[in-house]
Every structure is written in C-alpha cells, then in structure tokens.
Amino acid sequence: MSCLDYNDTWESMNQLEESFNRIATVQDLINVLQNAVNNDNKDEIVDTTAALVHYIQVYTKEYDKQFKITWENVVVKLASHEKNDYISLNYDEIVEGLLELEAIDQK
C-alpha cells in the first residue's frame, strides 16, 4: 500500500511547477533590460535592474518555500516507510550539508 496520497502529491508537485514557472518573468525583464541597454536608456536600465533584483529575491523565497512543502509531502513520506539511515534528515539539514560541501570545493 502506498504511503502517498495521490491528490496531495499531485497538488504539491503542481504548486512546485507553478512556482518554478514564474521564472518566465525574469526572462521578460531580461529582454526589457537588453532593449534598454541597446537603446542606451539609463533610466530604464536602472529601473529594470532594480525590478530584477527585487523579483528574484521574492521568487527564490517562494520557490524555496514550495520546494520544502513538496519535499515533505513526497520524499519524507516515502522515506518514512523505508528503514534508511537518512530518515531523520530534513530539507534544511540537507541544504546545509550541500552548502558545506560547496564551500570545501571552492577552497
């Protein structure tokens, strides 16, 4: 018997996809920025750059939040039915470990 509820899993995955798809806004802003650069429109360059900086902060925060929800609804639920050593790890601990490995690689 499956440990996952189909509707919960589908909803989590769908929300994660919707969150990711907001990246199209970044592409639109990059196109606006490129046009501003091509036209040497300094005001539009400043405004669009500011918009990109603020949008990407919101985007990554929202995507991270949705990714954690999906992680809990899929990976953690599956792991709880397996008797693996990583069962007690949560998303934040995994991210912290990956950041530590990345720091070591950069040395």
pLDDT tens readout for residues 9-63: 889 899 989 988 888 999 999 999 999 999 999 999 999 999 999 999 999 999 9
Q: pLDDT value at position 85?
A: 55
More confident residue, 63 or 105: 63
Assess if residue 1 is contained within a domain.
Answer: no
What's the sign of the alpha-carbon dihedral 7, 95, 62, 29?
negative
Domain tally, the chain: 1
Residue 56 falls inside a structural domain: yes
pLDDT of 1 higher than 60: no
pTM, to two decimals: 0.62
Domain span at residue 36?
6-106
* Structure-block tokens of residue 5: 């509820």
